[in-house]
Structure 1
Amino acid sequence: MSFLLKRLSQKNSWNKVFKQRLTEPFHLNIIAVFVFIFGSFRKKVAYDLVIRPQHAFGLLNAADQAKLRGFNDVTVLEFGVANGAGLMNLIAVADKVTKETGVNIHIYGFDTGEGMPEPLDYRDHPEYYNTGDFPMNKALLEEKIKGKATIIYGSIKEKIDEFKSTISEKAPIGFVAIDVDYYSSTKDVLDLFKAKATTFLPLTYVYMDDIFMPHHNEKCGELLAVSEFNQAQSMRQLSYHRFFENQRIFKNANWVKQLYYFHVLDHPYRSELKRDRKTYVLDNPYLKFEGNKKQFD
């Protein structure tokens, strides 16, 4: 609660409240007050009442999907840790998700530990970022997260192959937060998505942090890296789900448009032709037949 009050004391937080929350239907905000006070964790995720709702949605749904597939563990990654606010939020949310689902969440963060590297060219948006931006207080952060998450230091390009070889198929990747700002760094991150299919959930959630600012476009930054990845891969696809916004109670939040789905088309689950379930039968209100739930009298 104290952390929430501290967040609300910041001007940027109130800008989000006015622009993204209070523009929603009045009755939904009233209901949200009651959910905040009396609701379960799952309800609070549905009403975007957990700090960094993209983390809450991604982790909860990844854990649900993992449990459905028979896994007890799932892996979550953050690329671009900086001073660790996002990583610490992932830790806090993961604790609640584990209590809700019983699924253990393994958290890894990737960062140079020394701030932003030198930009490549205009594709890295030097108009926004500078070499050395977003440094990390390593000692303090490591002390806070000890035993709860692992930070992998160094350039992503140098570390990603080694990491891919260590991913356990018993704890597949279910959520990835990408906040590395540059096109060149994002391109290195996306090399992760070429790993063995079974090291991912068949549908993995990916949060793209740096796509909302005016200068971002499909010729620069994260969006260019995503476009190039999709063109180069025949069985892997990073895409924005066009109807995801309609599935949310609150639709105006930026994060809803920043969440992508990673489709692992060569995952064994997506090629199984037989399912151990009853045959689906569609109801028809104009016909009378056994099992039809919508027929007219």
Structure 2
Amino acid sequence: MLNSYALRRALSDKKYKKIFVERLTEPLHLNLISAGVALFGSYRAKVAFDLMVRQQYAFPVLFAADEAKKLGLKRIQVLEFGVATGAGLLNLCDCAARTEAETGIAIEVVGFDTGSGMPPAIDYRDMPEYFQEGDYPMDFEALRRSLPGRCRLLIGDVAETIPAYLASVTAEAPVGFISVDVDYYSSAVNTLKVLDGRPEQYLPLLPVYLDDVGMDGANPWNGELLAAAEFNARQPMRKIAPFNLLRSKRVFKNAQWIDRMFTAHIHDHPARTPATAKRAQQAYIPNEYLR
């Protein structure tokens, strides 16, 4: 199902133009190598070569699972805010299943949505020139029937669903990735309150995907970027920042998703405090110039 979906997306006019601009402007030898990776490569190699549907989900889920493994965890949760018809949520479930097989980390997927489309915009900060009331409704029953057992939908206003959700999150299965695709500034402000829980309810650093920051009219004074800035201002020990040096770490560097990938730093997490972060071995840098 996902393979045919990927093909339909690739052949659509909008995606075809995106592939032309992003992929075909990359070095020829990398595209040739990626053909072999697509046919014979492991899941981890396909993620490295941007060969997954919604790479913006494949990369952070795998990153989160690797981080969880370093901490000795066995389970994590990944969240999507703004489900709409659910194509992204199904992709996220597929990434979770394949990452689980790759890493051994069990991954639960949780989708948050009003179920009834977008509410009215409050003012210019919600960018009403791009989004309006009623956009992106959901066929709840059709989507529910398609979801795998690892996924659950939380329908309603996030102001109500987030507190109940956080009450269920344990340190044994923390949040490892958050996708914010709620379009409005006002919705993003409420969505980012999911990061207001206890520090052990999260990985010490977790990827945050901000989907709606790429339009020409988006800027730090509106939309999801403004919501992130306000979160940083009110949270002294939690900060959302661009993912450090991500472009330089990627094989393919022209993909737009890279500019939408951020990291939530949970500075008050036990793993980031001096008492618990101390290593068993002292760090040492050898110096080949010394006699």
Instruction: Report the TM range for the smaller structure's normalisation.
Output: over 0.9
Deviations 1:100-143 (A, max 9, x none): 11111111111010000111111111111110000001111000
Aligned counterpart, 2:189? 187
Deviation of 1:63 (Å): 0.8
Distance 2:258 2:286 in 1: 33
Distance 2:112 2:194 in 1: 12
| TM-score relative to the length of structure 2 | 0.96
Aligned counterpart, 2:274? 272
Deviations 1:162-197 (A, max 9, x none): 211111211000000000000000000111111100
Distance 2:232 2:197 in 1: 15
User: Bigger radius of gyration, 1 or 2?
Assistant: 1
Aligned counterpart, 1:135? 137
Aligned counterpart, 1:37? 39
Name the SS of the counterpart of 2:203 in structure 1: strand
Deviation of 1:4 (Å): 2.6
Name the SS of the counterpart of 1:130 in structure 2: coil
- What's the C-alpha RMSD, in Å, of the aligned pairs? 1.2
Aligned counterpart, 2:288? 285
Distance 1:99 1:284 in 2: 41
Distance 2:186 2:4 in 1: 38
Distance 1:109 1:236 in 2: 23
| TM-score relative to the length of structure 1 | 0.94
2:124 aligned with 1:122, yes or no? yes
Aligned counterpart, 1:293? none
Deviation of 1:58 (Å): 0.8
Distance 1:203 1:85 in 2: 27
CA contact (8 A) 2:107 2:150 kept: no
Moved >6 Å (runs of 4+): none
Aligned counterpart, 1:98? 100
Aligned counterpart, 2:56? 54
Aligned counterpart, 2:113? 111
CA contact (8 A) 2:93 2:148 kept: no
Distance 1:276 1:231 in 2: 32
Distance 1:173 1:209 in 2: 19
Deviation of 1:242 (Å): 4.2
Deviation of 1:244 (Å): 1.3
Identity in percent: 43
Q: Any residues of structure 2 matched to 1:61-210 within 5 Å, and which? A: 61-210=63-212
Distance 2:33 2:288 in 1: 34
CA contact (8 A) 2:74 2:104 kept: yes
Distance 1:147 1:40 in 2: 25
Deviation of 1:23 (Å): 1.1
For structure 1, the residue ranges without an aligned partner over 5 or more in a row are 289-297
Deviation of 1:283 (Å): 2.4
Deviation of 1:241 (Å): 2.9
Q: Which moved more, 1:147-156 or 1:125-134?
A: 147-156
In structure 2, relative to structure 1, the CA distance for the partners of 1:146 and 1:42 (3 Å cut) is closer
Distance 1:210 1:276 in 2: 39
One-letter amino acid of the structure 2 residue matched with residue 178 of structure 1: V
Aligned counterpart, 2:26? 24
Distance 2:10 2:233 in 1: 42
Deviations 1:40-69 (A, max 9, x none): 100000010111111111111111111111
One-letter amino acid of the structure 2 residue matched with residue 158 of structure 1: E
Report the count of equivalent residues. 288
